[in-house]
């Protein structure tokens, strides 16, 4: 679990939300950590074999903590929510969604990605909407993670995953 207070404290500097992390190499590395890695092994003359390593969500949370003090970025918060859901199940999902909601409440005007000066509120917030879409992404986002997570294991029934609850 994370310390919500640390994630919600204003950052030093002119902007209480700090810097935009989009082009930060450390943030880009964090994004790569959220992707399962495909490993191809060539064994002499035999066919190549493939294996996929799962995401190390504890490492994702650790790397996220390093970025926490630099920027209130919705893309970072979505990654943290995914990591918490994978590490702590329903309690982590709750904490991650609470973090996003409270960040909206406290930092809507200054958080990243920045609002665009546009005619409509929806157009102004389009980059934020796009960041949130990773929560519903059923192929590689939070929804896919929830489907694969075992939430309960009653003795008489066996494991119950998010997919079973759909």
Number of folded domains in the chain?
1
Cα–Cα distance measured from residue 32 to residue 60, given in angstroms and rounded to the nearest whole number? 10
Q: In which domain, by residue range, is 126 found? A: 4-165
pLDDT tens digits, 42-100: 666 677 766 677 899 999 999 999 999 999 999 999 999 999 999 999 999 999 999 99
Residue 111 Cα to chain centre, angstroms: 16
User: How many Cα neighbours within 13 Å face the side chain of 12?
Assistant: 1
Cα–Cα distance measured from residue 145 to residue 148, given in angstroms and rounded to the nearest whole number? 5
Cα–Cα distance measured from residue 116 to residue 113, given in angstroms and rounded to the nearest whole number? 9
pTM as predicted: 0.87
Per-residue CA distances from 147 to 46, 67, 111 (Å):
35, 28, 30
pLDDT tens digits, 5-29: 999 999 998 999 999 999 999 999 9
Strand partners, 8: none
Cα–Cα distance measured from residue 61 to residue 10, given in angstroms and rounded to the nearest whole number? 20
For residue 150, report the phi and psi dihedrals to the nearest 5 degrees.
-85, 120
pLDDT tens digits, 71-81: 999 999 999 99
CB of 101 within 8 A of CB of 130?
no
């Amino acid at each position: 679990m994370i310390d919500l207070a640390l994630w919600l404290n204003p950052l030093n500097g002119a902007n209480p939300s700090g810097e935009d992390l989009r082009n930060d190499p450390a943030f880009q590395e964090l994004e790569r950590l959220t992707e399962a890695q495909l490993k191809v092994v060539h064994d002499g003359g035999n066919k190549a074999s493939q294996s996929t390593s799962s995401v190390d969500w504890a490492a994702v949370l650790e790397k996220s903590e390093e970025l926490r003090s630099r920027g209130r970025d919705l893309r970072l918060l979505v990654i943290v929510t995914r990591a918490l859901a994978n590490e702590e199940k329903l309690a982590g999902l709750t904490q991650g969604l609470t973090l996003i909601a409270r960040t909206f409440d406290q930092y809507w005007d200054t958080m990243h990605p920045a609002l665009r000066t546009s005619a409509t509120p929806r157009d102004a917030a389009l980059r934020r909407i796009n960041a949130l879409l990773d929560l519903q992404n059923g192929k590689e986002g939070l929804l896919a993670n929830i489907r694969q997570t075992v939430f309960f294991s009653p003795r008489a029934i066996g494991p119950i995953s998010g997919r079973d609850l759909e």
